[in-house]
Amino acid sequence: ILVTPLDVIKTRLQAQSNPFSKGKCFVYSNGLMDHICVCENGNSKAWYKKPGHFKGTLDAFVKIIQIEGIKSLWSGLPPTLIMALPTTVIYFTCYDQLSEALKSRLGKDDEHIPVLAGSLSRFGSVTVVSPLELIRTRMQYRNLSYNQLYTCISGKVATDGWFSLWRGWSSTVLRDVPFSAIYWYNYERFKKMMCKEVGAHEPTFFIAFTSGAASGSIAAVITLPFDVVKTHRQTELWESETLKIPQRDCTSTWAIMRKIVAKNGITGLFAGIIPRLFKVAPACAIMISTYEYGKSFFSHLNEKMNQ
C-alpha cells in the first residue's frame, strides 16, 4: 500500500517517453512482487493512461494528484494484493516453520539456517503462485469469463501438459531464491548485532525496520542482473503467448545476459538499480518490521491469555 505510488509514477514517466502500444507487455512491480500487464489500448489501464508532460518524479507526483486525484497513485493495487496475500502467507509461514525445524537439527546459532529456510520458502511460494499469475494475466488481457478461462486453460494443458502452467517460472526462481537467501542471512545477522548493541532480547520495531531495509538493499543490488533477465524473458513470453509473436532465438538466462552485455555493456545488467532500491528497501523494511511486531504482539497476547 505504501510503496505502490512509487511504481505508478515510474511507469507513467516511462510511458510518456515510450508509450505502450496495443498488446505490448510491461512489468508492474510494487517492490515485493512483479506482475506482467498487457496494454489493451491507450486509456484502459489507469496506471499508464494520460501520459502527460512530467519533468520528473516530484512533478509527476504533484500533477497526478492535481489532475486525476490522489487515488490514481494507488492504481493497480487490487491485482497486486490478490497475488501478494497468498505469496506472503506461504512465504513467511514456511520460513518460520523451516527455521524451527532446522534449529532443532543443526543448532540454534547455525548461520546456514536463514539461507536454507529463506531459499526453500521462496522456492515453494513462487512455485505455488506461478500458475495464478499466468491465469490472472490471461484474464486481464482477454477479459475472459470463468467458463472461457477454464476452457482456455484445460485446452492448453491438454496440448502442452501441466508444466505449461509454470512457463516463466525458472526466471522468477533464479532471481527470487538467491534474493531470499541473501536477504534472510543478512537480516538475521543485522538483527542479532543490533539487539546485542542495545541489549534487547527481541527485536524492536526500529531494529527490524533498519535490518530489513539494509538486507533488502544488499539482496536487491546482488540479484539485479537476474531481475533484468526476468523482465526480458517475461515480456517476451507474454508477447509470444498473447500476440503469437515467435520468441527470439536466445531464451536461456545466460544467453540473454550475454546479449545484454554485448549491447549495453556490464552496466546493462544493472539497469534500473535506483528505482529498484527505492522500492525494495522500504518494502522489505515495512514488511519485516510489521511482521516481527505482529509476531511479538500475538506471542505476548497468548502468554497473557494462558496465565
- Considering the domain boundaries, does residue 279 fall inside one? yes
Instruction: Look at residue 44 in the predicted model and tell me its pLDDT.
Output: 46
- Considering the domain boundaries, does residue 267 fall inside one? yes
Q: How far is residue 196's CA from residue 203's CA, in Å, rounded to a whole number? A: 10
- Considering the domain boundaries, does residue 130 fall inside one? yes
Averaged over 218-230, what is the pLDDT? 84
Domain identity same for 37 and 84: no
Instruction: Look at residue 236 in the predicted model and tell me its pLDDT.
Output: 65
Q: CA dihedral defined by 95, 283, 211, 105, rounded to 10 degrees?
A: 10
Mean of the per-residue pLDDT values of the chain: 78
- Domains in the chain, number: 3
Q: How far is residue 176's CA from residue 222's CA, in Å, rounded to a whole number? A: 11
Domain identity same for 113 and 64: no
Judged against a pLDDT cut of 80, whether residue 171 lies above it is answered with: no
Which range, of 41-50, 59-68, 122-131, 157-166, averages the lowest pLDDT?
Answer: 41-50
- Considering the domain boundaries, does residue 119 fall inside one? yes
Contacts of residues 249-256 at CB distance under 8 Å and 24 or more positions apart, as own/partner, are: 253/170, 253/171, 253/174, 253/226, 253/229, 256/229, 256/232
- Considering the domain boundaries, does residue 134 fall inside one? yes
- Considering the domain boundaries, does residue 189 fall inside one? no
Judged against a pLDDT cut of 60, whether residue 39 lies above it is answered with: yes
Domain identity same for 267 and 285: yes
pTM, full prediction: 0.75
Highest mean pLDDT among 54-58, 130-134, 213-217, 295-299: 213-217
Judged against a pLDDT cut of 90, whether residue 120 lies above it is answered with: yes
Averaged over 174-202, what is the pLDDT? 91
Averaged over 146-164, what is the pLDDT? 76
Domain identity same for 106 and 141: yes
Domain identity same for 293 and 252: yes
83, 136 in Cβ contact below 8 A? yes
Domain range enclosing 38: 3-73
- Considering the domain boundaries, does residue 145 fall inside one? yes
Q: Give the tens place of pLDDT for each residue, 41-54.
A: 544 444 445 556 77
Averaged over 109-136, what is the pLDDT? 86
CB atoms < 10 A from the CB of 161, how many?
A: 9
Residues in the chain: 307
- Considering the domain boundaries, does residue 131 fall inside one? yes
225, 270 in Cβ contact below 8 A? yes
Which of 73, 88, 114 marks a domain boundary?
Answer: 73
Q: How far is residue 32's CA from residue 164's CA, in Å, rounded to a whole number? A: 25
Task: With cut-offs at 50, 70 and 90, classify the pLDDT of residue 108.
Answer: confident
Domain identity same for 230 and 281: yes
Instruction: Look at residue 194 in the predicted model and tell me its pLDDT.
Output: 94
Residue whose grid cell is 534487547? 200
